[in-house]
Amino acid sequence: MTFTAQETSVEAGSPVELYTFEFGLDIKRRTNNSIDVVHNGLTYTSTVMTRTALIEEKNKKGEKLEINLPATDPLVRTFLGKPPGVTAEVTLQQTHRTDGAEELITQFNGEIQTVDFTDNGHAATMQVLALTSALTRNIPRITYRGSATISSTTSVARSWRATRTSRRRSPLLQ
């Protein structure tokens, strides 16, 4: 049975989520399954975890995700003592327990923005921002003419223009 058939089936669907957390070269794998999962030779450690629903709106597909873990999980402890600016990426993939073809569908890719400890330090919530949301930011447009002000009394006009260059072949190469 294909992934799509299992996903839409009322009785045969048994989804398993596989999470990959990358801290540079340090990679940790987790699953929400009740037992550890081995997929393509990689072991995903079973842990109690929940997440928010993925957004399915046209312009806001999967912008943000919250992942909740117990604070005792060794994965959460990697955030203790990390200096600001150290990034971690998360990939959420889904498969089905009964999928003989072992199809793996990527549901979300993102970067952990913050980790909040709640419930008197017993739980951790990771705020994950989608990598695709970086593509929606406004980028300044190219300008072909402009002026720069050096001080309040002096203005220096600086102009530039995009020029077309042509490359001629050397007579020796013809």
CATH of the domain at 63: 2.40.10
Whether residue 29 is contained in a domain is answered as yes
Ramachandran area for residue 166 (φ above 0: left; ψ -120 to 50: alpha; else beta): beta
pLDDT given for residue 98 in this prediction: 72
Each residue's pLDDT tens digit, 19-42: 999 988 889 999 998 899 988 889
Strands 155-159, 105-118: parallel, antiparallel or unpaired by DSSP?
A: unpaired
pLDDT given for residue 9 in this prediction: 53
Question: Over 115-162, what HEC string results?
Answer: EEEECCCCEEEEEEEEHHHHHHCCCCCCCCEEEEECCCCCEEEEECCC
The DSSP code for 105 is E
Instruction: Tell me the residue range of the domain where 36 lies.
Output: 3-136
82 vs 173: which has the higher pLDDT = 82
pLDDT band per the 50, 70, 90 thresholds, residue 84: low
- Number of domains the chain is built from: 1
Whether residue 96 is contained in a domain is answered as yes
Each residue's pLDDT tens digit, 109-149: 999 888 888 888 889 999 998 887 766 656 566 655 555 54
Using CA atoms, how far apart are residues 66 and 60, in angstroms rounded to an integer? Answer: 15
Identify whether the C-beta of residue 37 lies closer than 8 Å to the C-beta of residue 46: yes
| pLDDT above 90 (res 151) | no
Whether residue 22 is contained in a domain is answered as yes
Mean confidence (pLDDT) of the chain: 75
135 vs 95: which has the higher pLDDT = 95
pLDDT band per the 50, 70, 90 thresholds, residue 170: very low
